[in-house]
């Protein structure tokens, strides 16, 4: 439900503030960038709060704040107001994301890999549905249509907060005696994985940003290919996420899956580069084949992220650990546009080859990281089971 709302809003937000409100695009981008950077600060403390006060309660509060902030966007008429409201939204989003991670562990204890794979399937499906709905508003191009999108997203946050009442009120798990508050920041294997996860996250803007520009400006492929690759990416992830992801359960599975993802990206990136050197229909076919391989890599990467991100974290501090993981991922996404457009679009084919090699190198570290984390868990003794309170 929440991802449907996000799909409605994210697709048309920039158009609303530039075309309807009348703010310059540079100001809109600056306000959203400032909000995103400040929001990064709330992930770890918000996760710690979820660990100590219960993930359901904290996530409900965060969703309520986001519903209010999103509703307030309809009143925004200046850069300063947009920056303030967007910052509140991003702070709440960071807290809610960390609490969500802790809540996932508590709900999906029996078959966690299968549960997380199904979650991601619904996430992808929700975004697709929301994006389709946003397309009608963009086609109408009226203030009323855009307001429906914004308020629809606000309603999705409120509805999600209410739906959480259907879950048990999970009690906080007691930490070991004399444990330091910032345990996640001192866990070296997890900090390393956070950096690697953020680096591998560059693969997401490849589909949403880099490939559309590449197809439009550097290939002879028909322009509808841009829409086709986006649709194929969504379809593959929706159809195959549960089938593949439900098999990736342990730390060892996660390490291998991370390596497999890097190798798939190593294959897809050169295929994307070749589209610039192929005639019209061959270029379109290569783009379709490349996005299929890339989508498989995305499924393996996200499944590895679940297995390692949740498996490396102690049950009593899942919120704090997921807050750190979210911070690393968001930082990577913030840097991605500048890195990808400079390195790949600037270097052309060589840039694509470097990008594929980069993904392969990052993924190759996965098995060793999983072994290191597994040895650390054995040395520290068994972890508490995340049971319902």
The two three-digit tokens of residue 272, written as one number: 């994307």
Q: Is 69 helix (H, G, I), strand (E, B) or coil?
A: helix
- The pLDDT assigned to 266 comes to 97
pLDDT at 64 over 80: yes
- The pLDDT assigned to 377 comes to 59
Please report, to the nearest 10 degrees, the dihedral formed by the alpha carbons of residues 240, 243, 246, 250 taken in order. Answer: -80
Domain ranges, ordered by start, for the chain: 2-166, 183-380
Instruction: State the distance between the two ends of the chain, measured CA to CA, in whole angstroms.
Output: 26
- Band (pLDDT 50/70/90 cuts) for residue 180 is low
- The pLDDT assigned to 182 comes to 66
- The pLDDT assigned to 387 comes to 40
d(CA 229, CA 227): 6
Across the range 203-227, mean pLDDT stands at: 84
Q: What is the mean pLDDT of the chain?
A: 85
* Highest mean pLDDT pick, 16-20, 261-265, 319-323: 261-265
Domains 2-166 and 183-380 agree in fold: yes
CATH annotation of 2-166: 1.20.1250.20
Residues above pLDDT 90, as percent of the chain: 28
Topology annotation, domain 183-380: Growth Hormone; Chain: A; (1.20.1250)
Helix (H) or strand (E) holding 257: helix 251-274
The two three-digit tokens of residue 255, written as one number: 């390490």
Quick: pLDDT tens for 317-348. 888 888 888 888 888 888 888 888 888 888 88
Length reported for the chain: 389
Structure pTM?
0.81
Quick: pLDDT tens for 242-262. 889 888 988 999 999 999 999
d(CA 268, CA 271): 5
């Amino acid at each position: 439900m929440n991802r449907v709302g996000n799909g409605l809003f994210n697709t048309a937000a920039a158009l609303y503030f530039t075309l309807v409100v009348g703010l310059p695009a540079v100001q809109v981008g600056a306000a959203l960038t400032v909000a995103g950077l400040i929001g990064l600060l709330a992930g770890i403390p918000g996760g710690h709060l979820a660990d100590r006060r219960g993930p359901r309660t904290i996530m409900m509060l965060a969703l309520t704040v986001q519903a209010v902030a999103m509703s307030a966007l309809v009143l925004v008429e200046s850069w300063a107001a947009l920056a303030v409201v967007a910052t509140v939204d991003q702070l709440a989003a960071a807290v809610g994301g960390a609490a969500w991670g802790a809540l996932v562990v508590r709900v999906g204890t029996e078959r966690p890999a299968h549960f997380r794979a199904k979650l991601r399937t619904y996430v992808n499906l929700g975004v697709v549905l929301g994006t389709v709905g946003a397309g009608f508003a963009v086609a109408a191009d009226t203030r009323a249509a855009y307001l429906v999108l914004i308020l629809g997203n606000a309603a999705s946050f409120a509805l999600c907060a209410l739906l959480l009442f259907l879950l048990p009120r999970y009690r906080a798990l007691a930490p070991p005696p004399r444990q330091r508050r910032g345990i996640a920041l001192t866990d070296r294997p997890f900090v390393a994985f956070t950096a690697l996860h953020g680096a591998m996250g560059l693969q997401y803007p490849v589909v949403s940003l880099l490939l559309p520009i590449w197809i439009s400006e550097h290939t002879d492929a028909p322009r509808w290919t841009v829409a086709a690759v986006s649709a194929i990416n969504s379809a593959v992830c929706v159809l195959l996420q549960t089938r593949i992801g439900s098999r990736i359960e342990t730390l060892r599975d996660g390490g291998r899956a991370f390596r497999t993802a890097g190798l798939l990206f190593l294959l897809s990136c050169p295929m994307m580069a070749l589209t610039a050197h192929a005639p019209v229909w061959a270029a379109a076919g290569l783009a379709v084949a490349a996005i299929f391989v890339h989508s498989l890599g995305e499924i393996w990467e996200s499944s590895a992220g679940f297995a390692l991100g949740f498996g490396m974290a102690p049950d009593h501090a899942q919120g704090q650990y997921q807050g750190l993981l979210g911070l690393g991922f968001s930082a990577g996404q913030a840097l991605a546009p500048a890195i990808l457009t400079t390195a790949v679009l600037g270097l052309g084919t060589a840039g694509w080859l470097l990008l594929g090699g980069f993904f392969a190198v990052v993924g190759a570290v996965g098995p060793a990281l999983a072994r290191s984390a597994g040895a650390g868990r054995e040395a520290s003794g068994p972890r508490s089971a995340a049971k319902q309170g």
